[in-house]
Homo-oligomer: A and B are copies of this chain.
Amino acid sequence: MPKYRNDVDAVLRALADPTRRAVVERLSRGPAVVSDLAAPFAMSLPALLQHLRVLQEAAVVTSEKSGRVRTVSLRPGALDVLHLWLDEQRTPAERQADRLGVHLARHPQKENIS
């Protein structure tokens, strides 16, 4: 499944940088214009735009220009591919614990009254 692997690769590379992660954390609260996104970082605007480009190429964010203002948003479901990959890495012991949890939820233990 090369597309899936490429998507996982792009998202993980995008998130491996702390500045890009901070941008994602900010955008998880709502869309923001580029100048507001840049404000907390001690870096030039071109450097920040380069980070935004990596996030956009990884399809983690989208952006829209209205007049001279560009607004950046977290793409809905952008991180789903990573949730999926993480779920696949559960070990046999973790899967067994999950199944036990489902079983116990479906069949609550009767209390022993003695």
Contacts and interface: CB of A to CB of B under 8 A. Distances in A.
Interface of A: 5, 8-9, 12-13, 15-16, 18, 21, 24-25, 28-30, 74, 76, 79, 82-83, 86, 88-94
23 contacts: A8-B21, A9-B21, A12-B12, A12-B15, A12-B16, A12-B21, A13-B16, A15-B16, A16-B16, A24-B89, A25-B88, A28-B89, A28-B90, A28-B91, A29-B92, A76-B91, A76-B93, A76-B94, A79-B86, A79-B89, A82-B82, A82-B86, A86-B86
A9 B16 CA distance: 7
A89 B76 CA distance: 11
A12 B30 CA distance: 23
